[in-house]
Amino acid sequence: MPVRKRCFLWAMPWGQGGGASLFIFRNGVRAQVWACTLLFGGLIATAGFAAQVPLPRSRPAEAPHSAPAVQTDQPDVPADAAPPSQAAPAIAPAEPAPSACRLALTEAIAIAPSLPPIRGPGDCGGDDIVRLEAVMVSPDQRVALKPPAVLRCTMAMAVANWVRIDAAPLAASLGSALSEVDNFDSYECRGRNRVKGAKLSEHGRANALDIRGLRLANGTMLSLTDRNLSRDLREKVLHSVCTRFTTVLGPGSDWYHEDHIHLDIAERRNNYRLCQWNVDDPMPQIAPLLPAVRPDEAPPRETAEEAGEPDGRTEPPAQASDAADRKPPQAASSAKPAMRPARRP
């Protein structure tokens, strides 16, 4: 017959705290087993401690309901801090994609950082604006624009191509390298020729450049409006700029372009182009104050004495008396009538 072991926990209150006894019955014999005592000792101690801790009072019915706490990752905000704005944050507009000109005008061609669009005043300004600082003729030759020119990208590309393909080889033919382009004016919000009320100039659209000359690496300054500069050189520059730009104004065009050359790429109907630049010859030398010496082979001049004209005048002939020279008038009857011309049919 198998042996049965049973553990019974018998508890009865002793005083206020209460108490408990542990007994084990084996085959009808009561014996105290220390193993069961160790097993249930912790439960007895916990029950006695819980009986001594007072329970909280029940919540009143009129108490407000509290919202459940929400776990957030935000740091604690002081109670007196101002509430955050309820307006939706402004979304910055997306930057436009680079233009085809901007992608083509790389640092291998020119140093021309992009600028923000120019808006006004009025119709002035435009998009795709760059600051043309220098043109790269080659990796080791850089032609600066002084001061840098503020232009549209398309105008900056036209200037860079002219410098790289035309102006730099022309300077090299003179035995030196091109180092600088003298920028007289680029972007400026104004009317044509700075006349008040005139039509908006291409300078106001960042579409024009005024240049006065080209400086070589040896220090020589080629003033393009200087009449003493080689005529052949000025004609070569004239031909090159009139090929690449739609508007060229220089000496002879008007009184506003006698000391510089205006270049722009304005678009006109039927692709009309305007090239007005008179390549004048050098000014003549100042005439001497005294007349030139008469050549020896010139015929001699006749003097007044030889011509019988003392004091430069001839004496009038003496007048005869009225009685000797006067003739009696003819009678009217003796005069023949004038012949009338015959009438034509």
Higher pLDDT among residues 126 and 313, named by residue = 126
Higher pLDDT among residues 72 and 111, named by residue = 111
pLDDT tens digits, one per residue of 131-169:
999 999 999 999 999 999 999 999 999 999 999 999 999
Residue where the block lists tokens 């678009």: 267
Residues paired with 146 in a beta bridge: 182
Half-sphere exposure of 298 (CA within 13 A, CB side): 8
Same domain, 32 and 109: no
pLDDT at 81: 55
Same domain, 132 and 223: yes
Same domain, 45 and 109: no
Same domain, 151 and 214: yes
Same domain, 211 and 107: yes
Classify residue 147: in a domain, yes or no: yes
Q: Which tokens belong to 108? A: 């291998």
Classify residue 62: in a domain, yes or no: no
Same domain, 119 and 198: yes
At residue 143, what are phi and psi to the nearest 5 degrees? -105, 115
Same domain, 124 and 20: no
Residues paired with 331 in a beta bridge: none
Same domain, 121 and 29: no
Classify residue 138: in a domain, yes or no: yes
Nearest by Cα to 132 from 116, 146, 121, 120: 146
Task: Find out whether 169 and 141 touch, Cβ atoms under 8 Å.
Answer: no
Classify residue 263: in a domain, yes or no: no
Residue where the block lists tokens 């669009």: 117
Task: Find out whether 178 and 158 touch, Cβ atoms under 8 Å.
Answer: no
Residues paired with 136 in a beta bridge: 142
Q: What is the pTM of this model?
A: 0.58
Classify residue 269: in a domain, yes or no: no
Cβ-based neighbour number of residue 8 at 10 Å: 10
In the structure, how many helices (H) and strands (E) does the chain have? 6, 15
pLDDT at 320: 45
Last residue of a domain, one of 192, 227, 262: 227
Alpha-helical (H) ranges within the chain are 34-52, 100-104, 153-162, 168-173, 231-244, 322-325
Classify residue 284: in a domain, yes or no: no
Q: Pick from 50-64, 202-216, 293-307, 327-341 the range whose average pLDDT is largest.
A: 202-216
Task: Find out whether 153 and 113 touch, Cβ atoms under 8 Å.
Answer: no
3-state secondary structure of 58: coil
For a pLDDT cut of 70, what percent of the chain falls above it?
Answer: 59
pLDDT tens digits, one per residue of 9-19:
444 444 444 44
pLDDT at 53: 56
- DSSP element (H, E) containing 173: helix 168-173
Last residue of a domain, one of 176, 205, 227: 227
Same domain, 213 and 143: yes
Between the alpha carbon of residue 106 and those of residues 112, 113, 197, the distances in Å are: 8, 10, 38
Question: Looking at the predicted structure, is the pLDDT value of residue 94 above 80?
Answer: no
pLDDT at 289: 67
Classify residue 98: in a domain, yes or no: no
Classify residue 278: in a domain, yes or no: no
What's the structural domain count of the chain?
2
Structural domain harbouring 194: 103-227
Among 28-42, 172-186, 279-293, the minimum mean pLDDT is found in 28-42
Same domain, 108 and 18: no
Between the alpha carbon of residue 189 and those of residues 195, 198, 278, the distances in Å are: 12, 12, 28
Last residue of a domain, one of 208, 227, 246: 227
Same domain, 29 and 133: no
